[in-house]
Amino acid sequence: MDARAAVRERVAASRDRLVALSHRIHAHPELAFEEERAAAWCAEALDAAGFAVERGVGGLPTAFVARAGSGPLHLALCAEYDCLPGIGHACGHNLIAAIAVGAGIAAARVADDIGLTVSVVGTPAEERGGGKILLLERGVFADAHAAMMVHPAPVDVVEPVTLAWWDFEVR
């Protein structure tokens, strides 16, 4: 089976668990830096899928890195899971978390075959606190060749206007 077919198969096999994870996070919204349940549920799903999980990375108790594969190229997938004060998961971070977990599990299926190390990085406090920036500054992304994340929107967007929230320098 080729890599694309293997990834599609893994996504299909994980669908119900990923939808349940998204619904569970949505039903239990947690504010920035308080995402104990959401972070634990994501980390547990990745651990059950064979990832090596490190919790509390970057000095943030609700951050984690889950790794699979041993290839020379390292892809980091970002999982956000905090909510908005007073309105819960209106921004869809429950979806972002479940999709990152699912993408990681699917990519892990072929990681060694295609020379990839895949990590799912739990990035807390994205609504108010800049969790990804803190993790970046503290070296959590230091060995990643690329980092990716999805974000839900009410429409399909092929070419989004905003590519980064903060300016950053690529070296």
At residue 163, does pLDDT exceed 70?
no
In the chain, % helix, strand, coil (3-state, to 5) comes to: 40, 15, 45
What's the whole-model pTM score? 0.89
The pLDDT of 136-155, averaged and rounded, is 92
Q: Domain 3-148 adopts which CATH fold? A: Aminopeptidase (3.40.630)
Q: Is the pLDDT of residue 165 over 60?
A: no
What confidence score (pLDDT) does residue 1 get?
74
Residue range 12-25: mean pLDDT, rounded: 96
Percent over 90 (pLDDT), the chain: 75
Percent of the chain with pLDDT over 70: 91
If one compares 49 and 169, the residue with the highest pLDDT of the two is 49
At 109-118, the pLDDT tens digits run 999 999 999 9
Query: Average pLDDT for residues 5-21, to the nearest whole number?
Result: 92
Q: Which CA distances in Å does 94 have to 42, 115, 154, 168, 169?
A: 10, 30, 15, 26, 29
